[in-house]
Amino acid sequence: MNLAIAIGGVLLAPILLVWLGLRIRPAALPAFAPQSSPPETVPLPSGLPAPVERFYRVTYGETVPVIETVVMNGRGTMRIGGLPVPIRFRFTHEAGQTYRHDIEMTFLGLPFMRGYDTFIDGTGWAKRPGGIDQGSGFDQGSNVSLWAEALTWFPAVLVTDSRVRWQPVDSTTSLLVAPHGSEKEVFVVRFDPDSGRIQYTEAMKHNSSTGKKMLWINGVWFEEGRPWIHLGVEEIVYNVDVHDYIRAKIP
């Protein structure tokens, strides 16, 4: 009996260690830079489709901030092999132009693996545990992420950037038309009829450089049916200098 208990303890110990290690949240990343002052504001543009105008009034009021750069720090989880692995992250944007994603996967609260994504001059690039991803399909997917993240976290840029258009569909739906090089990317944006906030965002997106275009709804691949990552933004800083950081060499 004692031998059986000992063997059981030996077998259970790694399972308990994994269980514990995946439940300890990492410390937050250090602040990128202090917020110097609130962004300037401009009047909400006229002529927006009705559900879009309602969304912006609910979100910002009569004026919207002029956002040039954004740095977002936070924590969350990433699904790896079916397990939710704790992460901490920094997403850095030159709004509507470029971005850099830094993600650290952690165990027992300590980083053990890092991943990076960049989108610079219309070119996407990623370094992940599985290797490097790049190519025309990945460029398109990265461009979708650029605009989808703006819509999620700093939508003001989508009414202050002259390259972006909102087109009416019906009382709760509009099309967001954003640039992709010399082409256009179209998002279907559906708004909640009660709150006026965004309910669903749909786009066709390549999931890798070689993967096919798939329907992508609220950051979830339609064919998968569940999110692979959960992001909780805990700090946002606007309009600080991020030019060199985004373009710095990635280890």
∠ at Cα 100 (246, 53), nearest 5°? 110
pLDDT of 75: 98
Q: Give the number of other Cβ atoms within 10 Å of residue 175's Cβ.
A: 15
pLDDT confidence of residue 36: 75
* pLDDT number for residue 80: 86
Going by C-alpha positions, the residue among 209, 221, 189 that lies closest to residue 140 is: 209
Contact residues for 132 (Cβ-Cβ < 8 A; gap 6+): 125, 126
Per-residue pLDDT of the chain (251 residues; tens, 9 = 90+): 565 555 555 555 676 656 666 889 999 999 998 877 889 999 999 999 999 999 999 999 999 999 999 999 999 999 988 889 999 999 999 999 999 999 999 999 999 999 999 999 999 999 988 789 999 899 999 999 999 999 999 999 999 999 999 999 999 999 999 999 889 999 999 999 999 999 999 999 987 766 688 999 999 999 888 898 999 999 999 999 999 999 999 98
C-alpha to C-alpha distance for 147 and 74, rounded to whole angstroms: 19
Which pLDDT score, from 0 to 100, does residue 1 have?
54
Instruction: Quote the pLDDT of residue 114.
Output: 95
CA distance 173 to 190: 4
Q: What is the pLDDT of residue 131?
A: 87
How do strand 213-217 and strand 198-206 relate by DSSP bridges?
antiparallel
Encoded tokens for 97 = 């132009």
Which stretches within the chain are classed as H helix? 2-21, 50-59, 136-153, 157-160, 243-247
